[in-house]
Protein backbone atom coordinates (compact mmCIF):
# COMPACT_ATOMS: atom_id res chain seq x y z
CA UNK A 1 0.00 0.00 0.00
CA UNK A 2 1.36 3.45 -0.96
CA UNK A 3 0.60 6.79 0.62
CA UNK A 4 -0.59 9.24 -2.03
CA UNK A 5 -0.44 12.85 -0.84
CA UNK A 6 -2.37 15.58 -2.64
CA UNK A 7 -1.05 19.12 -2.25
CA UNK A 8 -4.17 21.19 -2.94
CA UNK A 9 -7.65 20.00 -2.10
CA UNK A 10 -9.68 21.83 -4.75
CA UNK A 11 -11.75 20.82 -7.76
CA UNK A 12 -9.51 18.28 -9.45
CA UNK A 13 -8.43 16.63 -6.20
CA UNK A 14 -12.07 16.16 -5.22
CA UNK A 15 -12.91 14.65 -8.64
CA UNK A 16 -9.87 12.34 -8.56
CA UNK A 17 -10.68 11.13 -5.05
CA UNK A 18 -14.25 10.38 -6.10
CA UNK A 19 -12.95 8.35 -9.06
CA UNK A 20 -10.33 6.58 -6.94
CA UNK A 21 -12.93 5.72 -4.29
CA UNK A 22 -15.21 4.16 -6.94
CA UNK A 23 -12.46 1.64 -7.71
CA UNK A 24 -11.76 0.87 -4.06
CA UNK A 25 -8.00 1.28 -4.53
CA UNK A 26 -5.69 0.01 -1.77
CA UNK A 27 -3.76 3.26 -1.39
CA UNK A 28 -3.85 5.55 1.62
CA UNK A 29 -4.80 9.11 0.63
CA UNK A 30 -3.72 12.27 2.45
CA UNK A 31 -4.70 15.81 1.44
CA UNK A 32 -2.99 19.06 2.37
CA UNK A 33 -4.72 22.39 1.69
CA UNK A 34 -4.65 25.81 3.34
CA UNK A 35 -8.47 25.87 3.71
CA UNK A 36 -9.70 23.90 6.75
CA UNK A 37 -13.24 23.79 5.33
CA UNK A 38 -12.10 22.06 2.12
CA UNK A 39 -10.11 19.54 4.16
CA UNK A 40 -13.12 18.83 6.36
CA UNK A 41 -15.35 18.25 3.30
CA UNK A 42 -12.82 15.94 1.63
CA UNK A 43 -12.42 13.97 4.85
CA UNK A 44 -16.19 13.57 5.20
CA UNK A 45 -16.85 12.76 1.54
CA UNK A 46 -13.92 10.47 0.69
CA UNK A 47 -12.60 9.18 4.03
CA UNK A 48 -9.14 10.62 3.37
CA UNK A 49 -6.62 11.68 6.00
CA UNK A 50 -5.96 15.40 6.09
CA UNK A 51 -2.73 17.16 7.01
CA UNK A 52 -2.59 20.87 7.71
CA UNK A 53 1.21 20.95 7.94
CA UNK A 54 2.80 21.04 4.47
CA UNK A 55 6.18 19.55 5.46
CA UNK A 56 4.58 16.73 7.36
CA UNK A 57 2.33 15.98 4.35
CA UNK A 58 5.34 15.80 2.04
CA UNK A 59 7.35 13.58 4.41
CA UNK A 60 4.52 11.00 4.48
CA UNK A 61 4.28 10.70 0.70
CA UNK A 62 5.29 7.78 -1.49
CA UNK A 63 3.64 9.63 -4.36
CA UNK A 64 2.99 13.38 -4.28
CA UNK A 65 0.26 14.88 -6.47
CA UNK A 66 0.72 18.63 -6.97
CA UNK A 67 -2.80 19.99 -7.47
CA UNK A 68 -2.55 23.72 -6.88
CA UNK A 69 -3.02 26.33 -9.60
CA UNK A 70 -0.03 26.94 -11.88
CA UNK A 71 0.64 30.36 -10.30
CA UNK A 72 0.91 28.71 -6.84
CA UNK A 73 3.25 25.85 -7.74
CA UNK A 74 6.59 27.59 -7.20
CA UNK A 75 5.59 29.09 -3.83
CA UNK A 76 4.21 25.74 -2.65
CA UNK A 77 7.29 23.74 -3.67
CA UNK A 78 9.66 26.26 -2.08
CA UNK A 79 7.65 26.08 1.15
CA UNK A 80 7.51 22.28 1.01
CA UNK A 81 11.29 21.96 1.19
CA UNK A 82 13.39 18.97 0.24
CA UNK A 83 11.92 15.60 1.25
CA UNK A 84 14.08 13.38 3.45
CA UNK A 85 13.66 10.34 1.18
CA UNK A 86 13.26 9.68 -2.57
CA UNK A 87 9.82 10.66 -3.80
CA UNK A 88 7.77 10.31 -6.96
CA UNK A 89 5.84 13.52 -7.74
CA UNK A 90 3.15 14.14 -10.35
CA UNK A 91 2.18 17.70 -11.26
CA UNK A 92 -1.29 18.39 -12.61
CA UNK A 93 -0.49 22.07 -13.15
CA UNK A 94 -1.40 23.10 -16.69
CA UNK A 95 1.48 24.52 -18.69
CA UNK A 96 4.19 24.13 -16.01
CA UNK A 97 7.00 22.13 -17.63
CA UNK A 98 9.04 19.31 -16.07
CA UNK A 99 12.12 21.53 -16.41
CA UNK A 100 10.60 24.17 -14.11
CA UNK A 101 9.38 21.55 -11.62
CA UNK A 102 12.79 19.88 -11.47
CA UNK A 103 14.61 23.20 -11.09
CA UNK A 104 12.26 24.22 -8.28
CA UNK A 105 12.37 20.94 -6.35
CA UNK A 106 14.98 18.51 -7.62
CA UNK A 107 16.65 15.41 -6.17
CA UNK A 108 15.41 13.30 -4.39
CA UNK A 109 12.13 14.12 -6.18
CA UNK A 110 11.43 12.35 -9.48
CA UNK A 111 8.85 14.20 -11.62
CA UNK A 112 6.06 13.35 -14.00
CA UNK A 113 3.07 15.34 -15.28
CA UNK A 114 -0.52 14.24 -15.70
CA UNK A 115 -3.59 15.90 -17.18
CA UNK A 116 -6.85 14.33 -15.96
CA UNK A 117 -10.28 15.98 -16.17
CA UNK A 118 -13.06 16.29 -13.60
CA UNK A 119 -14.93 13.58 -15.53
CA UNK A 120 -12.67 11.13 -13.67
CA UNK A 121 -15.25 11.56 -10.89
CA UNK A 122 -17.46 9.10 -12.80
CA UNK A 123 -14.64 6.59 -13.35
CA UNK A 124 -14.68 7.26 -17.11
CA UNK A 125 -12.03 9.89 -17.65
CA UNK A 126 -9.00 10.13 -19.88
CA UNK A 127 -5.61 11.18 -18.49
CA UNK A 128 -2.51 12.14 -20.47
CA UNK A 129 0.81 11.52 -18.76
CA UNK A 130 4.34 12.54 -19.64
CA UNK A 131 7.58 11.60 -17.91
CA UNK A 132 11.03 13.03 -17.52
CA UNK A 133 13.45 11.06 -19.71
CA UNK A 134 15.30 9.57 -16.75
CA UNK A 135 12.19 8.28 -14.95
CA UNK A 136 12.50 4.50 -14.40
CA UNK A 137 9.88 2.23 -15.94
CA UNK A 138 8.60 1.07 -12.55
CA UNK A 139 7.75 4.69 -11.64
CA UNK A 140 6.01 5.18 -14.99
CA UNK A 141 3.97 2.02 -14.37
CA UNK A 142 2.96 3.20 -10.87
CA UNK A 143 1.68 6.48 -12.25
CA UNK A 144 -0.16 4.86 -15.14
CA UNK A 145 -1.78 2.37 -12.73
CA UNK A 146 -2.91 5.17 -10.42
CA UNK A 147 -4.62 7.20 -13.15
CA UNK A 148 -5.99 4.05 -14.82
CA UNK A 149 -8.10 3.63 -11.65
CA UNK A 150 -10.56 6.08 -13.19
CA UNK A 151 -10.21 5.72 -16.94
CA UNK A 152 -7.96 5.50 -19.94
CA UNK A 153 -4.35 6.71 -19.74
CA UNK A 154 -2.29 7.83 -22.72
CA UNK A 155 1.39 8.77 -22.71
CA UNK A 156 2.32 11.71 -24.93
CA UNK A 157 5.53 13.71 -25.37
CA UNK A 158 5.78 16.79 -23.19
CA UNK A 159 6.00 18.97 -26.33
CA UNK A 160 2.34 18.04 -27.04
CA UNK A 161 1.08 18.51 -23.48
CA UNK A 162 -0.24 22.06 -23.83
CA UNK A 163 -2.11 21.17 -27.04
CA UNK A 164 -3.64 18.17 -25.27
CA UNK A 165 -4.58 20.28 -22.25
CA UNK A 166 -6.39 22.82 -24.40
CA UNK A 167 -8.16 20.26 -26.58
CA UNK A 168 -9.10 17.90 -23.76
CA UNK A 169 -11.43 19.81 -21.52
CA UNK A 170 -14.86 18.50 -20.64
CA UNK A 171 -15.86 22.17 -20.53
CA UNK A 172 -15.98 22.05 -24.37
CA UNK A 173 -18.80 19.52 -24.16
CA UNK A 174 -20.69 21.52 -21.51
CA UNK A 175 -20.16 24.68 -23.57
CA UNK A 176 -21.52 23.04 -26.74
CA UNK A 177 -24.42 21.59 -24.74
CA UNK A 178 -25.32 25.01 -23.32
CA UNK A 179 -25.11 26.69 -26.75
CA UNK A 180 -27.24 24.05 -28.50
CA UNK A 181 -29.81 23.88 -25.71
CA UNK A 182 -30.16 27.69 -25.69
CA UNK A 183 -30.72 27.66 -29.46
CA UNK A 184 -33.28 24.83 -29.12
CA UNK A 185 -35.07 26.79 -26.44
CA UNK A 186 -35.10 29.89 -28.64
CA UNK A 187 -36.65 27.69 -31.36
CA UNK A 188 -39.55 26.84 -29.04
CA UNK A 189 -38.55 23.86 -26.87
CA UNK A 190 -38.94 24.07 -23.12
CA UNK A 191 -35.63 24.09 -21.18
CA UNK A 192 -35.78 20.46 -20.05
CA UNK A 193 -36.54 19.04 -23.51
CA UNK A 194 -33.96 21.35 -25.12
CA UNK A 195 -31.28 20.07 -22.73
CA UNK A 196 -32.22 16.39 -23.15
CA UNK A 197 -32.39 16.66 -26.95
CA UNK A 198 -29.06 18.53 -27.10
CA UNK A 199 -27.34 16.10 -24.72
CA UNK A 200 -28.43 13.13 -26.85
CA UNK A 201 -27.52 14.91 -30.08
CA UNK A 202 -23.98 15.54 -28.86
CA UNK A 203 -23.24 12.53 -26.67
CA UNK A 204 -24.92 9.62 -28.48
CA UNK A 205 -23.26 10.28 -31.82
CA UNK A 206 -19.85 10.78 -30.23
CA UNK A 207 -20.11 7.57 -28.18
CA UNK A 208 -21.22 5.70 -31.32
CA UNK A 209 -18.12 6.99 -33.14
CA UNK A 210 -15.80 6.18 -30.22
CA UNK A 211 -17.11 2.66 -29.74
CA UNK A 212 -17.82 1.79 -33.37
CA UNK A 213 -15.80 1.08 -36.50
CA UNK A 214 -17.06 3.90 -38.73
CA UNK A 215 -15.03 6.95 -39.66
CA UNK A 216 -16.16 10.38 -38.50
CA UNK A 217 -16.57 11.41 -42.15
CA UNK A 218 -18.92 8.51 -42.93
CA UNK A 219 -20.99 9.16 -39.78
CA UNK A 220 -21.28 12.85 -40.65
CA UNK A 221 -22.45 11.90 -44.13
CA UNK A 222 -24.98 9.40 -42.75
CA UNK A 223 -26.41 11.91 -40.25
CA UNK A 224 -26.90 14.78 -42.71
CA UNK A 225 -28.85 14.09 -45.92
CA UNK A 226 -27.60 16.50 -48.62
CA UNK A 227 -29.97 19.45 -48.78
CA UNK A 228 -31.76 18.23 -45.62
CA UNK A 229 -32.30 19.97 -42.30
CA UNK A 230 -29.13 18.76 -40.52
CA UNK A 231 -26.94 19.62 -43.53
CA UNK A 232 -28.53 23.07 -43.82
CA UNK A 233 -28.07 23.71 -40.07
CA UNK A 234 -24.42 22.59 -40.15
CA UNK A 235 -23.60 24.67 -43.25
CA UNK A 236 -25.15 27.76 -41.64
CA UNK A 237 -23.12 27.13 -38.45
CA UNK A 238 -19.91 26.87 -40.50
CA UNK A 239 -20.78 29.97 -42.53
CA UNK A 240 -21.26 31.87 -39.26
CA UNK A 241 -17.69 30.96 -38.26
CA UNK A 242 -18.15 27.85 -36.08
CA UNK A 243 -14.84 26.21 -37.04
CA UNK A 244 -13.03 29.56 -36.96
CA UNK A 245 -14.35 30.24 -33.46
CA UNK A 246 -13.21 26.82 -32.21
CA UNK A 247 -9.75 27.33 -33.76
CA UNK A 248 -9.44 30.78 -32.19
CA UNK A 249 -10.49 29.41 -28.81
CA UNK A 250 -7.89 26.64 -28.96
CA UNK A 251 -5.13 29.07 -29.95
CA UNK A 252 -6.07 31.40 -27.07
CA UNK A 253 -5.97 28.46 -24.65
CA UNK A 254 -2.56 27.49 -25.97
CA UNK A 255 -1.21 31.00 -25.40
CA UNK A 256 -2.59 30.86 -21.84
CA UNK A 257 -0.94 27.49 -21.19
CA UNK A 258 2.40 28.81 -22.49
CA UNK A 259 2.13 31.84 -20.22
CA UNK A 260 1.90 29.42 -17.26
CA UNK A 261 5.36 28.08 -18.07
CA UNK A 262 6.83 31.57 -17.58
CA UNK A 263 5.18 32.23 -14.18
Q: Which residues bind to ligand NAP, rule: CB under 6 A?
A: 8-13, 33-35, 38, 67-70, 72, 75-76, 92-94, 115-118
Residue placing its CB nearer to ligand NAP in the complex, 167 or 218: 167
Residue placing its CB nearer to ligand NAP in the complex, 8 or 97: 8
Q: How far apart are CA 115 and CA 130, in angstroms?
A: 9
Q: How far is the CB of 214 from ligand NAP (least distance, A)?
A: 30
Q: How far is the CB of 231 from ligand NAP (least distance, A)?
A: 35
Phi, psi of 112 (to 5 degrees): -140, 165
Q: How far is the CB of 30 from ligand NAP (least distance, A)?
A: 13
Among 81, 120, 117, 77, residue whose Cα is nearest residue 96: 77
Residue placing its CB nearer to ligand NAP in the complex, 9 or 184: 9
Q: How far is the CB of 6 from ligand NAP (least distance, A)?
A: 9
Closest residue to ligand NAP using C-beta atoms:
10
Half-sphere exposure of 63 (CA within 13 A, CB side): 25
Residue placing its CB nearer to ligand NAP in the complex, 12 or 181: 12
Residue placing its CB nearer to ligand NAP in the complex, 69 or 172: 69
Q: How far is the CB of 52 from ligand NAP (least distance, A)?
A: 9
Residue placing its CB nearer to ligand NAP in the complex, 16 or 88: 16
Q: How far is the CB of 165 from ligand NAP (least distance, A)?
A: 7
Amino acid sequence: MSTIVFLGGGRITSAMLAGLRLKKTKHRFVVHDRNPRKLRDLKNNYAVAVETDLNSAVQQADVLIVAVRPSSVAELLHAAGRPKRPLLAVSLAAGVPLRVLTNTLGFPVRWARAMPSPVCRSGRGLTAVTFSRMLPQRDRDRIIDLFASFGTVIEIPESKFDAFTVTYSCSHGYHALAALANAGQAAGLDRRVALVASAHALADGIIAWREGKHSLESLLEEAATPGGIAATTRAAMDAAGYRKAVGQGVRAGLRRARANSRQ
